[in-house]
Amino acid sequence: MSEKVRIGVIGIGNMGSEHCRNLLSGACPELELTAVADLRASRREWAAQKLPGGIRIYDSGSRLIREADCDAVLIAAPHYQHEPLAVEAMEHGKHVLCEKPIAVSASRARHMLEVSRQTGKTLALMFNQRTNCVYRAIRQLLDSGEYGALKRMNWIVTDWYRTQKYYDSGSWRATWAGEGGGVLLNQCPHQLDLLIWLCGMPETVTARCQEGKWHRIEVEDDVTAFLTFPGGGTGVFVTSTGDLPGTNRLEIDLERGKIVCEDGQVRCRRLPESERVLCFASENPWEKPQTEETLLETDGENPQHIGVMNAFAAHLLRGEPLTASAEDGLKALTLSNAIHLAGWTGETITLPPDEERFDAMLAEKIRHSVRKETPDQTFDTDHSGTGSTAEA
Amino acid sequence: MSEKVRIGVIGIGNMGSEHCRNLLSGACPELELTAVADLRASRREWAAQKLPGGIRIYDSGSRLIREADCDAVLIAAPHYQHEPLAVEAMEHGKHVLCEKPIAVSASRARHMLEVSRQTGKTLALMFNQRTNCVYRAIRQLLDSGEYGALKRMNWIVTDWYRTQKYYDSGSWRATWAGEGGGVLLNQCPHQLDLLIWLCGMPETVTARCQEGKWHRIEVEDDVTAFLTFPGGGTGVFVTSTGDLPGTNRLEIDLERGKIVCEDGQVRCRRLPESERVLCFASENPWEKPQTEETLLETDGENPQHIGVMNAFAAHLLRGEPLTASAEDGLKALTLSNAIHLAGWTGETITLPPDEERFDAMLAEKIRHSVRKETPDQTFDTDHSGTGSTAEA
């Protein structure tokens, strides 16, 4: 590999075109954008007009993979294309940085991991929220063990507001056949990843997934999930694209205190001793030790997509750690699939869910999926902002 | 009835003795404490030493009801005694102010309401949290219709921390036979009442009730409930006596904005127009109208038990409204029973729940209930404080 990683971007819609701008901004000195691909002529015209000369433009990801002069590809195509494109790329000797979600069903993601192992090619995930100083600081605090084991978590992440216009902007959007899911698969992969990253993998999930509740769409736009964790902790995860103004508030209750992340701040209350000891040692029926609220210090850095891309390059060039691996992508998707399955069946699902059952139920949904007549649309506006601590 | 309502207090443990202090404090000028009753000699000795002469002391509620010179009784005896005592009192011509919960099972509460109708005697509930200016102001705002219909509510009320010492302070405490339930029945009747008062009666409930999760007790001390409301709103209600430091945060999302009640403050964000209109009218996929956060003004008054008692007297003397009626008590208990039943069965329960089924399952739990050997204990300390906006 040369001193720089030469990279091609597959899919230059909303997200892919932003990746191009970031790659060309000078903020990713170890990455060189050499090619882009899109199935849509309108997007290739955009590339021809807006991107510097020398960047090759392909009319399919497959062609880019086979023909372009690059070491790696960044896949920002619709969800269902993640697996075939990533597999084809790795089999043709390219490393892959894949947009979230890794795939639509865990069985497909597992196949991607196998190909990565077989080919020895890196498969990394665009979990850019992991670069946010706020979540990094929480993770560090939890990892230190200072607050003890998890007792409860409650994440209300309803600041993903979308109007009907958003869903009408693409024929594939918010359909089972085109996207494979709604808020769980499009907006929330970040939070599902962070949830696992911070609190560990849940053991069971019970959920209510309401489809087309707030919009004229066939997939879910309102989800409430109840989680249990190994060790006895419990959790609630609430998300929606229909709440306005939304909330993004993560509360984590632990044996030695409580952490609340909201509005870009992390407020901590630490107990002088473990509640689990206090509960049985105290002579006071209504014990309430004084705790001081402190703000968790962070390094203030939040490089987002640029951070993930630079880590990807550093990994390929010097073996430095990725922001998120394929395994992380599979874990987040496993939880996502489990919440879907719990919602579809009304059952409490033990993780990992039965992949065959999930795939069969999804296939049934796809069979009844209605393709919309609306033309695809790419927005030039900043589409990603969804509050202080969450970005798409 | 004389110019004052003469009242007897039945059960002078923690709560009943506080009621006596309030009645004697001069803050309830239309109520005159004329009698108290307790089955325990130790509590009667306390009354003989601490209460003014002239107040008659009885060794049972039944005797007080039949012999004491009073117009009304305040029942602060253990839960299972609420029904027989209230019925006996009304049948002997006394009005009743009953501590929460109205009873342990809705079928029994329904019987109390029937007796109240038959005898024409008032049956009121001690839902003192309704007097809190914060909840009154929210109720007024919601009643005004200014914020439109309910979309979502999320109440985390985990500031009911109790140590094992608390549960060990009475042989009846936290047993199915002695108390009939845990955090739902002892600590949360207030919040269940407020939830219904503010957001309306839920239509269905799915719940996880964990028994003896944080303490050596046989009843539930950790509950997560998922609610649906007529009209499509959803809710999450989380409570526990094992979280430290606890949280009391109520978020209500409505068509025209959001209300968050925490730390004794109510923060409001009001939309310029209904989200339900905006969603389909806006050309912006990521519409995010600017909203200003305002603090909801309140009258600052929070008379708690004294407020409920004074309203009770004013109702009897001049027909003024009660703070909470027997119907309100039945509604809160209906929701409580439904959450229990949902937790016990793992089913989604439609309200009102099958009362016979609830009673049968409770009877089964009582059959396996183990009476504790610990002697009863009454605490002189303030037992009620559970954070800024919730009190027992």
Give the single-character DSSP code of A171.
Answer: S
- Chain A residues close to B161, C-beta within 8 Å: 286-288
What's the pLDDT score for residue B2? 57
Nearest to B162 among A169, A286, A289 (CB): A286
Interface of B with A in 164-223 (CB under 8 A): 164-166, 169, 206, 208, 210, 213-215, 222
> Within a 10 A sphere around the Cβ of B31, how many other Cβ atoms?
26
User: Looking at A167-176, A345-354, B71-80, B84-93, which range is the least confident one?
Assistant: A167-176
**B383 to chain A: closest CA residue:** A286
Question: Which strand (E) or helix (H) includes residue B325?
Answer: none
Model confidence at A375, pLDDT cuts 50, 70, 90, reads confident
Q: In terms of Cα–Cα distance, which of B201, B209, B217, B214 is closest to B246?
A: B214
Interface of B with A in 143-162 (CB under 8 A): 151-152, 154, 156, 158, 161-162
Q: What one-letter code names the amino acid at B352? A: P
What's the pLDDT score for residue A372? 75
Helix/strand/coil for A265:
strand
Nearest to A154 among B163, B238, B288 (CB): B238
- Find the DSSP H helices in chain B: 14-24, 41-50, 61-67, 82-91, 106-119, 133-144, 164-167, 189-199, 275-281, 304-318, 326-345, 355-367
Q: In terms of Cα–Cα distance, which of B332, B107, B101 is closest to B199?
A: B332
Nearest to B165 among A208, A260, A284 (CB): A284
Share of chain B above pLDDT 70, in %: 96
Whether residue A387 has pLDDT greater than 90: no
What's the pLDDT score for residue A380? 54
CA angle B212, B218, B220 (to 5 degrees): 55
* Average pLDDT estimate for A140-149: 97
d(CA B292, CA A151): 35
Nearest to A279 among B158, B164, B280 (CB): B164
- Tokens coding A391: 């970005």
CA distance A242 to chain B (A): 8
Rounded to 10 degrees, the C-alpha dihedral A345/A351/A355/A356 comes to -50
User: Looking at A380-384, B8-12, B91-95, B250-254, which range is the least confident one?
Assistant: A380-384
Q: Do A234 and B222 touch (CB under 8 A)?
A: yes
Whether residue B320 has pLDDT greater than 60: yes
Whether residue B382 has pLDDT greater than 50: no
Q: Do A284 and B163 touch (CB under 8 A)?
A: yes
In this structure, are residues B172 and B366 in contact, taking their beta carbons and an 8 Å threshold? no
Whether residue B392 has pLDDT greater than 60: no
Model confidence at A1, pLDDT cuts 50, 70, 90, reads low
How do residues A284-308 score in pLDDT, each as one tens digit?
A: 999 999 999 999 999 999 999 999 9
User: Looking at A105-109, A215-219, A370-374, B296-300, which range is the least confident one?
Assistant: A370-374
What's the pLDDT score for residue A371? 76
d(CA B349, CA B358): 11
- Chain B residues close to A174, C-beta within 8 Å: none
Model confidence at B370, pLDDT cuts 50, 70, 90, reads confident
CA distance A253 to chain B (A): 7
Model confidence at B391, pLDDT cuts 50, 70, 90, reads very low
Omega before B52 cis (within 30°)? Answer: no
Whether residue A390 has pLDDT greater than 90: no
What's the pLDDT score for residue B387? 35
In this structure, are residues A231 and A237 in contact, taking their beta carbons and an 8 Å threshold? no
Nearest to A165 among B161, B232, B285 (CB): B285
- Chain B residues close to A279, C-beta within 8 Å: 163-164, 214-215, 242
Residues A141-145: contacts with CB within 8 Å, 24+ apart? A141/A259, A141/A268, A141/A296, A142/A198, A142/A199, A142/A252, A142/A254, A142/A259
In this structure, are residues A249 and A389 in contact, taking their beta carbons and an 8 Å threshold? no
Q: Do B161 and A288 touch (CB under 8 A)?
A: yes
DSSP assignment string, A83-107: HHHHHHHHHTT-EEEEPSSS-SSHH
Is pLDDT larger for residue B391 or for residue B151?
Answer: B151
* Average pLDDT estimate for B229-237: 97
Share of chain A above pLDDT 70, in %: 96
Q: Within 13 Å, how many C-alpha atoms sit on residue A246's CB side? A: 26
User: Looking at A199-208, A232-241, B72-81, B165-174, which range is the least confident one?
Assistant: B165-174
d(CA A351, CA A359): 15
What's the pLDDT score for residue B390? 32
Whether residue A344 has pLDDT greater than 50: yes
> Within a 10 A sphere around the Cβ of B73, how many other Cβ atoms?
28
* Average pLDDT estimate for B198-227: 98
Cα A279 from chain centroid (whole Å): 38
Helix/strand/coil for A127:
coil
Question: Which residue of A286, A348, A374 to mutate against B (max B Cβ within 10 Å)?
Answer: A286
How do residues B255-295 score in pLDDT, each as one tens digit?
A: 999 999 999 999 999 999 999 999 999 999 999 999 999 99
Give the single-character DSSP code of A188.
Answer: T
Nearest to B226 among A166, A224, A243 (CB): A224
Residues A223-227: contacts with CB within 8 Å, 24+ apart? A223/A183, A223/A184, A223/A188, A223/A339, A223/A343, A224/B226, A224/B234, A224/B236, A225/A339, A225/A342, A226/B208, A226/B224, A226/B226, A227/A153, A227/A202, A227/A203
**B169 to chain A: closest CA residue:** A285
Question: Which residue of A244, A256, A258, A349 to mutate against B (max B Cβ within 10 Å)?
Answer: A244
Nearest to B288 among A161, A224, A348 (CB): A161
- Chain A residues close to B379, C-beta within 8 Å: 285
Is pLDDT larger for residue A3 or for residue B50?
Answer: B50
Whether residue A374 has pLDDT greater than 80: no
Interface of A with B in 86-145 (CB under 8 A): none
Q: CA of A252: how far to CAs of A187, A190, A274, B244, B377, in Å?
A: 22, 17, 15, 11, 35
- Model-level pTM? 0.95
In this structure, are residues B359 and B105 in contact, taking their beta carbons and an 8 Å threshold? yes
- Chain B residues close to A289, C-beta within 8 Å: 244
How do residues A184-237 score in pLDDT, each as one tens digit?
A: 999 999 999 999 999 999 999 999 999 999 999 999 999 999 999 999 999 999
Model confidence at A337, pLDDT cuts 50, 70, 90, reads very high
- Chain B residues close to A234, C-beta within 8 Å: 208, 210, 222, 224
Phi, psi of A222 (to 5 degrees): -155, 120
How do residues B41-69 score in pLDDT, each as one tens digit?
A: 999 999 999 999 999 999 999 999 999 99
* Residue whose entry in the numeric block shows the structure tokens 């879910």: A220
DSSP assignment string, A129-155: GGG-HHHHHHHHHHHHTTT-SEEEEEE
> Within a 10 A sphere around the Cβ of B291, how many other Cβ atoms?
15
User: Looking at A6-20, A66-80, B368-382, which range is the least confident one?
Assistant: B368-382
What's the pLDDT score for residue B383? 45
Question: Which residue of A279, A287, A345 to mutate against B (max B Cβ within 10 Å)?
Answer: A279
d(CA A181, CA A221): 9
What's the pLDDT score for residue A222? 98
How do residues B20-31 score in pLDDT, each as one tens digit?
A: 999 999 999 999
What's the pLDDT score for residue A373? 73
Question: Which residue of B279, B284, B290, B378 to mutate against A (max A Cβ within 10 Å)?
Answer: B279
**A207 to chain B: closest CA residue:** B226
- Chain A residues close to B381, C-beta within 8 Å: 284, 286
- Tokens coding A126: 């665009």
Give the single-character DSSP code of B348.
Answer: P
Is any Cβ of chain B less than 8 angstroms from the Cβ of A231? no
CA angle B370, B214, B239 (to 5 degrees): 105
Interface of A with B in 266-305 (CB under 8 A): 269, 271, 275, 278-280, 282-289, 291
Is any Cβ of chain A less than 8 angstroms from the Cβ of B374? no
What's the pLDDT score for residue B381? 47
Q: Do B165 and A379 touch (CB under 8 A)?
A: no
How do residues A161-190 score in pLDDT, each as one tens digit?
A: 999 999 998 888 999 999 999 999 999 999
> What ipTM was predicted for this assembly?
0.94
Q: CA of B130: how far to CAs of B171, B224, B267, B391, in Å?
A: 31, 23, 19, 11
- Tokens coding B361: 């399952």
Nearest to A163 among B162, B226, B287 (CB): B287
Beta strand segments in chain A, E: 5-10, 31-37, 56-58, 72-75, 95-98, 123-125, 150-157, 204-211, 220-228, 234-240, 248-254, 257-262, 265-270, 293-295, 349-350
Question: Which residue of A14, A163, A203, A211 to mutate against B (max B Cβ within 10 Å)?
Answer: A163
CA angle A45, A51, A57 (to 5 degrees): 55
In this structure, are residues A284 and B165 in contact, taking their beta carbons and an 8 Å threshold? yes
Helix/strand/coil for B14:
helix
CA distance B161 to chain A (A): 6
Q: Do A251 and B247 touch (CB under 8 A)?
A: yes
Question: Helix B14-24 crosses helix B41-50 at what angle (to 10 degrees)?
Answer: 20
Whether residue A20 has pLDDT greater than 70: yes
